[in-house]
Amino acid sequence: MVNVGILGDVSVGKTTILRLFVKFIEQGMLEKKFKLNECSIVKTDFSGEATLPSKSASKETKTIHPNRVVFQIGDKMHTLFAPGGDNRPLVRMGIVTVSRIARLIIAVFDLNKDLDSQFNFYDKIRFIPKKIHVALNKADLIKDLNKKVDDYKKRIEKYFKEKRKIAVEETYVTVAESIEGFEDHNDKCAKMIVTLVS
C-alpha cells in the first residue's frame, strides 16, 4: 500500500485532482488509457470540503480536514490524501499528518497564481520526502503556456533544491477540471498518480 500526499496552497486544485482521478476509475478510463489491471474505488471521503461563495469565475474551496481516496489497482490498495492549504490550526494539523505518513508527495502549484505566495505554504512544512513530484495545474488559464511552465519549473526546482534539499523527480502540466480541448492535461493528472503508485 502506498500513501500519496497531494499538497499545495489554498485553491490550487488538490481536491479537483482527486475528484478527476475518482472519475477516471469509475468510468473505467484508467484501465483503457494506461493498460492497467482492474481498478476500483474502495472508499472516498470529501466530507471536509466546502465551496466558498464567490463572484469571480474561479471556485474557492475550503478544506477543513484532509480529503481521502482509497483505490485498488489489481490486488494493491493505495491512499491519496489532500489536506487544505490555509493556516487554521485544524487544517495545519492535517497538513503535518499527511506530510509525515505519505511516502510520496505531489506538490501542486497554480500556474495562474503568484509563485512566491505559494512557496510560503511549503516553508511551513517540516517533513517532506527528499524526492517529490510537481503538478503545475490550471494550464487552461494561461496564454503563453510554454513560457510560464519553463519559468515556474525552474523556480520551483531551485526553491526545493536550495531551500529544502529536495529533488523534483517529475513535473506534470495539468488541468484538473474536465474542459473540452484539455483532455491530454486531464490524462496527465491520472498518469501522475498511476506512475507514483506503480
When pLDDT is averaged across residues 190-195 and rounded to a whole number, the result is 95
Q: For residues 87 and 126, which has the higher predicted lDDT (pLDDT)?
A: 126
pLDDT band at 46 (very low <50, low <70, confident <90, very high): confident
Residue labelled with grid coordinates 516553508: 123
- pLDDT for residue 109: 98
pLDDT in tens, 134-181: 999 999 999 999 999 999 999 999 999 999 999 999 999 999 999 999
Q: What percent of the chain has pLDDT over 70?
A: 91
pLDDT band at 47 (very low <50, low <70, confident <90, very high): confident
Beta sheet of 104-110, edge-to-edge order = 39-45, 67-73, 76-82, 2-7, 104-110, 131-137, 167-173
Environment class of 111 (CB within 10 Å of its CB; exposed 0-12, middle 13-18, buried 19+) = buried
Measured distance CA(179)–CA(140) in Å, rounded: 8
3-state DSSP assignment of residue 134: strand
Measured distance CA(195)–CA(191) in Å, rounded: 6
Phi, psi of 144 (to 5 degrees): -95, 80
Measured distance CA(129)–CA(105) in Å, rounded: 7
- pLDDT for residue 60: 64
Using the predicted structure, report yes or no on whether residue 65 has a pLDDT greater than 80. Answer: no
Q: What is the value of pTM for the model shown? A: 0.90
pLDDT in tens, 88-147: 766 778 777 888 889 999 999 999 999 999 999 999 888 899 999 999 999 999 999 999
Total Cβ atoms within 10 A of residue 147: 10
> Could you tell me the fold of the domain covering 2-197?
Rossmann fold (3.40.50)
pLDDT in tens, 8-42: 998 899 999 999 999 999 999 999 999 999 999 99
Phi, psi of 69 (to 5 degrees): -130, 125
H-assigned helices in 27-127: 29-34, 89-101, 115-123
Measured distance CA(99)–CA(39) in Å, rounded: 26
Computed over every residue of the chain, the mean pLDDT equals 90
- pLDDT for residue 66: 86
Measured distance CA(170)–CA(55) in Å, rounded: 35
